[in-house]
Amino acid sequence: MDDVVIAGVGIHPFGRFDTGYREIGAVAARGALADAGICLGDLDMVLVANVGAEMAKGQNVLELVGRPGVPVFNVEAACASSAGTLTMAAELIEAGVHDAILCLGVEKAPKGFIAGAGFEGWQIESGLGITPLYFALAAQELIETTDATIEDLADVSVKNHRHAVDNPDAMFRSEVTREQVLESRAVCPPLNLLMLCAPNEGAAAAVLVSRKFARERGLDATVRLRSVATVSRSADDWFVPAVSRQSARMTSLTARAATLAYERAGIGPDELDLVECQDTDAGSELWAYRDLGLCKPGEEAALLRSGATTIGGRIPVNPSGGLLSKGEPLGASGLGQVHEIVQQLRGRCGSRQVEGARVGAGHVLGAGHNASVVVMSRD
Amino acid sequence: MNRSGTIHAGGDLLSPGSAVRLNASFCRDCDRWEFPARTYCPTCDQEPTTGPLSPTAEVIGHSAVLHQPPGSLIDAPYPVALASFPEGVAVLGVVEDAEVGEVAIGDQVETVARLVGDSIEYAFRSRRSS
């Protein structure tokens, strides 16, 4: 992908707020437009990612921003909803159909376990309709089949919480110790509360434009979107909410999305300077190390222990603090990653800056079997 | 009555606690079972046949639900197993006769009928206590 510039990004902090989703979304949308230096009337299209709000949610948010008169489409793919907007916007611009598209993700998720994750009624009533179970089984598999330990799971959370101390948009900005994580309330063994992200509220947005549009309008074309690949369930994947999988064959949604994204970008995982990944739980971050090609299978814990994935290391993962610290506003989380990566590539992240960052990747993974990987670079 | 269709021959004669077999679909061309039974094979899109899975399975993963989930009619805490059937499909289920922490990888479980609300659904029972 050669022609897609991320000209501006905006964010509404992730947390808990008294305002509604419309106000939360409007803050991020206005922020992205102002950051890009364009107005709503310059857009060809608006794509809005959200999971839980009402009918015509994107249109309702925009009513607080302006009336562009262009198509506004709402996109839902669970925790990968944001990636849906990016995928469509980037492909429409790369194809020369449109020049300027606003991607907005917004969520005001209720507290507690994510309900309505696609489980059938009988699964919920039978006690099986609970998303952390799936992450617990994946974390257990990592512990059973590699040298990863429960302490490693805790240390992922410790790392990401430390990163978030310097992120004003994160929900949890206090450091935690390994002991605090291990002693936090058990949810689904081996996962404790501080190893799981909290669904919450927030919004993030990005303005995607063609290079020609950026040049003509004199916009900041520093950061380009080099590829985005989104995949859904194939025969041998297993994720929320499926009650079963093939015993022997199991494939990875994330690995498939990553392979496609790296191919399309002509950029390999060894060229990445930072990664924002879907740390729904601590084990998911370790799995992402493998599936994104940051390490060989079985070396996930070693990569973490080496300090490589901490800011200052070879390949910092979740320098924003990740979902474990920011919380997860489902529809906004992917664009939140884009916000972080763009600001990192621009060198604007202050004390959590990844020095010399030129290439970054974002990764989301959601219920209903959706995964996406996006690669961005600084020219 | 097994309203979800997860139990093979799940008619009115089912009673809680009785041994049952899960209702699955089988694609002959792909030599592949799917649970719950599907109207298509996810590998080749052909129409599979339906039939029962074996009565017992081996635990290949386990966890537990320690806090009452919204909508669950099973009282937490309870252990959950991912159990692999000889047909090559692994299924999630509550282990109804075990305490949290008692289920281990390698355990054998059997499928039994369990009353969930007003429907008969499946659960696992540890073979150690049967």
DSSP-derived pairing of the beta strands A359-366 and B119-126:
unpaired
A192 φ, ψ (degrees, to nearest 5):
-105, 170
A4-112+197-378: CATH topology: Peroxisomal Thiolase; Chain A, domain 1 (3.40.47)
Please enumerate in sequence order all residues whose Cβ is within 8 A of that of A214, keeping only pairs 6 or more positions apart, or say none: A5, A7, A220, A221
Asked if A246 reaches chain B (Cβ–Cβ under 8 Å), the answer is: yes
Query: Given an 8 Å threshold on Cβ–Cβ distance, is B121 in contact with A112?
Result: no
pLDDT at B130: 44
Residue B97 distance to chain A (closest CA, Å):
14
Query: Given an 8 Å threshold on Cβ–Cβ distance, is B72 in contact with A188?
Result: no
A-B interface: how many C-beta pairs under 8 angstroms? 109
pLDDT at B11: 73
Query: How far apart (Å, rounded) are the C-alpha atoms in residues A29 and A11?
Result: 8
Omega before residue B48 within 30° of 0, cis: no
pLDDT at B128: 63
Q: What is the residue type of A52?
A: G
Of the partner residues A140, A141, A243, the one whose CB lies closest to the CB of residue B92: A243
User: What's the pLDDT tens digit per position in A110-159?
Assistant: 887 777 799 999 999 999 999 999 999 999 999 999 999 999 999 999 99
Asked if B1 reaches chain A (Cβ–Cβ under 8 Å), the answer is: no
Query: Given an 8 Å threshold on Cβ–Cβ distance, is B63 in contact with A136?
Result: yes
Residues of A identified as active-site: 79
- List chain B residues with CB under 8 Å of A122: 3-4, 6, 116, 119, 121
Res. B89: pLDDT tops 80: yes
Among A39-53, A218-232, B1-15, name the one with the lowest average pLDDT.
Answer: B1-15
Could you tell me the two tokens for B129?
Answer: 């206590």
* Contact indicator for A160, A309 with CB cutoff of 8 Å: no
* Contact indicator for A107, A203 with CB cutoff of 8 Å: yes
Of the partner residues A127, A136, A247, the one whose CB lies closest to the CB of residue B78: A127
Residues in chain A, overall count: 379
- β partners of residue B25: B34, B50
Query: Given an 8 Å threshold on Cβ–Cβ distance, is B36 in contact with A246?
Result: no
Residue B77 distance to chain A (closest CA, Å):
10
Asked if B84 reaches chain A (Cβ–Cβ under 8 Å), the answer is: yes
DSSP-derived pairing of the beta strands A45-49 and A100-108:
parallel
Q: With a CB-CB cutoff of 8 Å, which residues 98-157 of chain A face chain B? A: 112-113, 115, 120-122, 124-130, 133, 136-137, 140-141, 144
Alpha-helix residue ranges (DSSP H) falling in A38-177: 57-62, 81-94, 121-125, 131-145, 150-164
Query: Given an 8 Å threshold on Cβ–Cβ distance, is B91 in contact with A243?
Result: yes
Query: Given an 8 Å threshold on Cβ–Cβ distance, is A128 in contact with B80?
Result: yes
Query: Given an 8 Å threshold on Cβ–Cβ distance, is B4 in contact with A122?
Result: yes
Each domain of chain B, given as residue ranges in start order, spans 54-129
Residue B15 distance to chain A (closest CA, Å):
16
Among A234-238, A276-280, A289-293, B12-16, name the one with the lowest average pLDDT.
Answer: B12-16
Residue B128 distance to chain A (closest CA, Å):
22
Query: Given an 8 Å threshold on Cβ–Cβ distance, is A128 in contact with B35?
Result: no
User: What's the pLDDT tens digit per position in B29-87?
Assistant: 999 999 999 999 999 999 999 999 999 999 999 999 999 999 999 999 999 999 999 99
- List chain B residues with CB under 8 Å of A248: 88
Asked if A174 reaches chain B (Cβ–Cβ under 8 Å), the answer is: no
Asked if A302 reaches chain B (Cβ–Cβ under 8 Å), the answer is: no
User: B54-129: which CATH architecture?
Assistant: Beta Barrel (2.40)
Q: With a CB-CB cutoff of 8 Å, which residues 12-71 of chain B face chain A? A: 32, 34-36, 42-43, 60-67, 69-71
User: What's the pLDDT tens digit per position in A80-119?
Assistant: 999 999 999 999 999 999 999 999 999 999 887 777 799 9
Average pLDDT taken over every residue of chain A: 97
pLDDT at A111: 83
- List chain B residues with CB under 8 Å of A192: none
pLDDT at B1: 87
Res. A46: pLDDT tops 50: yes
* Contact indicator for A346, A358 with CB cutoff of 8 Å: no
Query: How far apart (Å, rounded) are the C-alpha atoms in residues A210 and A204?
Result: 20
Find the closest chain B residue to A138 by CA distance. Answer: B61
Query: Given an 8 Å threshold on Cβ–Cβ distance, is A122 in contact with B121?
Result: yes
Query: How far apart (Å, rounded) are the C-alpha atoms in residues A70 and A50?
Result: 19
Residues in chain B, overall count: 130
- List chain A residues with CB under 8 Å of B99: none
What H or E segment, with its residue span, contains residue A290? helix A282-291
Query: Given an 8 Å threshold on Cβ–Cβ distance, is B63 in contact with A115?
Result: no
